Chain A
Amino acid sequence: MTAHHRIDVSKVGDVTVVRFVDKTVLDESSIHELGQELFGLVDAQNGRKMVLNFSNVEFISSATLGKLIVLDRKVKTLNGRLRMCHIRPEILEVFRITKLDKLFDIRDGESEALAAF
């Protein structure tokens, strides 16, 4: 098993559910580590089905948005599917402003995200 420091990973059926450990990821090394853990997970599972649960996330900056965009691209390249859920209104607003809500598949809660596969 790969050790993760920035994410908690669990399985619901054939879907990998990822929760973020940190409320705020701001410094570059943490953002890099978060990216590596997410990308490694996609590589290990060859894309497939993944839910990112943001319930613990209180703040996000453009650097983390960049990692999410690369993750989304990576999953799509492998013909996998990525859903995001439990995103608080302020962060949802960031996605709306940047129009990433059009790129990402965003659902209200985890059950809705899981049901969407």
Chain B
Amino acid sequence: MGHESTAGWHRQVRLPSERGASRTVTDELLEQLGAHGWSAEEVFAIHLAAEEAIVNAIVHGNKLDPAKCVAVLCEVSTNHVKIEVEDEGDGFDPAQVPDCTLEERLDVPSGRGVMLMRSFMTRIEYNAKGNAVVLEKRREANAN
């Protein structure tokens, strides 16, 4: 996955397709977001988006196959965060995920991850195959 090298911190890891593996990278991501001055609300939003993307890749993408890994790239600077997550699965079409906010789907217990990522990040883009996603959040410049 190509990326701009504008970040103050970056980390590239390959996670095993195991439940709970996201902690390996999210703990450090949270620490770096704080160190780069992101607010508690922004940290919550980025944490949620990263968690949803990585869990989707492990569970739905790689289907917990121990032979497959999830590649994660995180970049954090004071005004920009980029997270790339790629699995080794067959991919999916995010446009086909039903709208979880429809009245008749409100009590369906799954299918909210993509919507939350879209809502909390500035940009979210899947590749054509649907097995890799780029999440970006930009912070508005402060007047001071």
Which residues of A pack against B, CB within 8 Å? Answer: 26-29, 59, 61-63, 65-67, 69-70, 72-73, 89-90, 94, 97-100, 102-103
CB-based contact A63/B116 at 8 Å: no
Q: Give the residue of B101, B110, B116 whose beta carbon is less than 8 angstroms from that of A94.
A: B116
Instruction: Choose among A59, A62, A89 the residue that contacts B47 (Cβ–Cβ < 8 A).
Output: A59
19 contacts between A and B (CB under 8 A): A26-B20, A61-B48, A61-B51, A61-B52, A62-B52, A62-B110, A62-B112, A62-B113, A62-B116, A63-B55, A66-B110, A67-B109, A70-B109, A73-B107, A90-B40, A90-B45, A97-B115, A100-B106, A103-B106
A99 touches B101 (CB 8 A): yes
Closest to A30 in B: B20
Residues of B near any A CB (own CB < 8 A): 19-20, 22-23, 40-41, 44-45, 47-48, 51-52, 55, 100-101, 106-110, 112-113, 115-116, 119
Contacts known (A61-B48, A61-B55, A94-B48); A69 close to B20, Cβ less than 8 A: no
B109 touching A66, Cβ below 8 Å? yes
Which chain B residues lie closer than 8 Å to A29 at the CB level? 19-20
Residues in A neighbouring B45, C-beta threshold 8 A = 90
- A77 and B106 CA atoms in complex are apart in Å by 16
Q: A26 contacts which chain B residues (CB < 8 A)?
A: 20, 22-23, 51
| Residues of chain B within 8 A of A63, CB atoms compared | 55
Closest B residue, CB atoms, query A65? B112
Q: Which residues of A contact B100 (CB under 8 A)?
A: 98-99
Task: A27-B19, A89-B41, A99-B101 are known; give 9 further A-B pairs, CB within 8 A.
Answer: A27-B23, A29-B20, A61-B55, A66-B110, A69-B109, A73-B107, A98-B100, A98-B116, A99-B106
Bound form: Cα–Cα A89–B45 in Å: 12
Least CB distance, B58 to chain A, in whole angstroms: 10
Given B20, B44, B47, B52, which contacts A28 in the complex, CB threshold below 8 Å? B20
- Give the residues in chain A near B19, CB-CB below 8 Å: 27-29
Give min CB distance, B100 to chain A, whole Å.
6
A99 to B110, CA, bound (A): 13
Closest B-chain residue to A91, C-beta based?
Answer: B44
Verify B119–A97 contact, CB threshold 8 A: yes
Q: Closest 6 CB pairs between A and B?
A: A66-B109, A27-B20, A28-B19, A99-B101, A62-B112, A90-B44
